[in-house]
A and B are shown apart, each in its own frame.
Chain A
Amino acid sequence: MYQSKWRTITNHLILIIGSLFMILPVWIALVSSTHTREYLFQHGLQFWFGGHFIENYGAILFDSAATKGRVTALEMLFNSMVLGLGFAIGKVIISMMAAYAIVYFRFRLAVPLFWVIFATLLLPLEVRIVPSYEVVTNLGLLNTYTGLILPLIASATGTFFFRQFYRSVPDELLEAARLDGAGPLRFFIDILVPLSVTMIAAIFIIMFVVGWNQYLWPLLMTTDDQLYTIVIGIKQVYNSLYEGGQIPQFPKAFALTIMATIPPVLVVVIFQRMFVKGLVETEK
């Protein structure tokens, strides 16, 4: 469509500046993580690579002393992966099932249970962290993967997402299935689930990122270093940055942030279309 030359030029300029605004902080972190801390201390944050990439990353990945704890970044990455995947898988399965029950069945508790689920939207975890912590402790789930993942699943977002999707599936499909002799289980497994594949993928991606990036909850209930996720590792490094009167461990801190950021960013960028679709549908 028509566009004056001037408009096109300003458009590109603005978009470039916007992109730089988003990218620069991470770029600086990435680049600075490849220098020694002395260099950073003397010359400030850098804009181009130094030569210590392998040294710095190797140190935090494999040597736990570098992160001031008993755990390496590699182990933390593993924990993050468990959290991300576990959360996403758990969320998808549970929400799909709950949404199926709500949409496709007439049963006595349907309406009150629906509102119970809805109520979880009203109170995000941040508002009930202290008692949640107590509950988890009482159940003996402190410092376990289960305790880390389960409480996070107790929210309605996934359920509403699938509910909306199921409502858009034509009624005729169910009617035809019934004529073909399919009961509720068959219908779900043979017809509904295959239909939902793209939706499942979309929400899986979002939930993976959400799970990976969890901060408050893991912070509270993992006191055992072995269970630290990489996002928590950042907090630990941050706390100990200025310890001991030495030059702060900036490069290692940056390296950790880069490693914490790369996986979710990669997922979002590679699966961009699905991610956007899931995001736009979830929030409605």
Chain B
Amino acid sequence: MATVTLNRAEKTYANGFKALHGIDLEIGDGEFTVLVGPSGCGKSTLLRMIAGLEGISSGEIKIDDRVVNNVAPADRDIAMVFQNYALYPHMTNYANMAYGLKNRGYSKVEIDTRVRDAAKILQLDDYLERKPQQLSGGQRQRVAMGRAIVREPKVFLFDEPLSNLDAKLRVDMRLEIKNLQQRLGITSVYVTHDQVEAMTLADRLIVMNAGIAEQIGTPIEIYEKPASLFVASFIGSPSMNFLDGKVADDKSYVVLGDGSKIDLDHVIDAGRDLVVGVRPEHFTLKADGSGALKARVRMIESLGAETLIYLEFGKKNENVTLRMQGTHQFDKGQELSLATSANLVHLFDKDSGKRL
């Protein structure tokens, strides 16, 4: 049983910078929660506060109903995997994994069992007697995970563990981490700036921006119903298309920059300025020209399984991206006719960015 709860957690640094503005969070037992957001959004700060490496300015952190605000990191029953592994260079990999247990007074037998079990799971059996410097990046990260696993803690914390690995390794390790967590069932909090990692690993996702949790939900919830402009633009690659628009007087459609009309399926005040969001895969190409939007092709990227078409729209040359399955060819400057349906359209308030 290990839940993590944050009540109005805030962090202000000595120089006055407020990194976190009142975060409320409930992480259930065994849940894999991912904190995602751009650099400087506060996700690492939040993770380190849970770990106890940063103090909390106000609010509460609870691990399993126990307030841990002033509890030493080593006493919180948590384990952490760092971005640059943070292995002890002067110790063997075995000693690295055993260190935490040794300090807590576990017996030699118990330590040996745990280390070897973890080594087996992580395929490190042959590397135990070597030192970290003799291992590759991926292997070192596994040792770092082994160090966390042997502790059998209440919570696992991951601070961008895959950022220092090359792209292919990242994909492989991502799967390994997911499998591991499901197998061990330990509550995990994972920080990343990579939204693909976030989407694939998370049971629940927290999108952060400038010290605030903009949205909390499952990856699909967040993808399908982003709560704000920021979330909509951050999650999903290529990013969602955003077009300026104004609600028509009869409230049945939105008028875009060049006069095109998008139908509305719920009620909004007439004359209101807003931003219309449509995901690249939610446009359909109308060969007969009957689509609501007309846009000119600027560039095409053929990825094999799909094609990304970058277009310009309207008098202000707003950017529109279209995603189509398979391979397609178009001429530069060619005008395409795009259609979408009201239920796939996202509407955001122009000033606050909040979902309407």
Contact = CB atoms under 8 A, between A and B. Distances in A.
Nearest to B48: A1
A223 B88 CA distance: 59
B53 A1 contact: yes
B219 to A, nearest CB: 32
Interface string A1-18: 110100000000000000
Contacts, number: 9
B53 A4 contact: no
B138 interface: no
B55 interface: yes
B72 interface: yes
Contacts of B52: 2
A265 B54 CA distance: 38
Contacts of A2: 52-55, 72-73
Contacts of A1: 53-54
Interface string A203-218: 0000000000000000
How would you classify the secondary structure of chain B's contact residues: helix, strand, loop or mixed? Answer: loop
B50 to A, nearest CB: 12
B6 to A, nearest CB: 17
A31 B72 CA distance: 46
Contacts of B73: 2
Interface in B38-71: 52-55
B355 to A, nearest CB: 39
Contacts of B53: 1-2
B67 to A, nearest CB: 16
A4 B72 CA distance: 7
B11 to A, nearest CB: 14
Contacts of B54: 1-2
A2 B72 CA distance: 7
Nearest to A1: B53
A174 to B, nearest CB: 33
Contacts of B72: 2, 4
Contacts of A4: 72
Interface in A2-44: 2, 4
A2 B48 CA distance: 10
A20 B212 CA distance: 46
A140 to B, nearest CB: 58
B83 to A, nearest CB: 16
Nearest to B73: A2
A4 B53 CA distance: 11
A201 B63 CA distance: 54
Nearest to B74: A2
A4 B55 CA distance: 11
A15 to B, nearest CB: 19
A105 to B, nearest CB: 36
A1 B74 CA distance: 13
A2 B73 CA distance: 7
A168 B72 CA distance: 43
Nearest to A5: B70
A51 to B, nearest CB: 43
A10 to B, nearest CB: 16
Interface of B: 52-55, 72-73
9 contacts: A1-B53, A1-B54, A2-B52, A2-B53, A2-B54, A2-B55, A2-B72, A2-B73, A4-B72
Task: List the 6 closest A-B pairs by CB distance, nearest first.
Answer: A2-B52, A2-B73, A1-B53, A2-B53, A2-B72, A4-B72
Given A1-B54, A2-B55, 7 more contacts: A1-B53, A2-B52, A2-B53, A2-B54, A2-B72, A2-B73, A4-B72
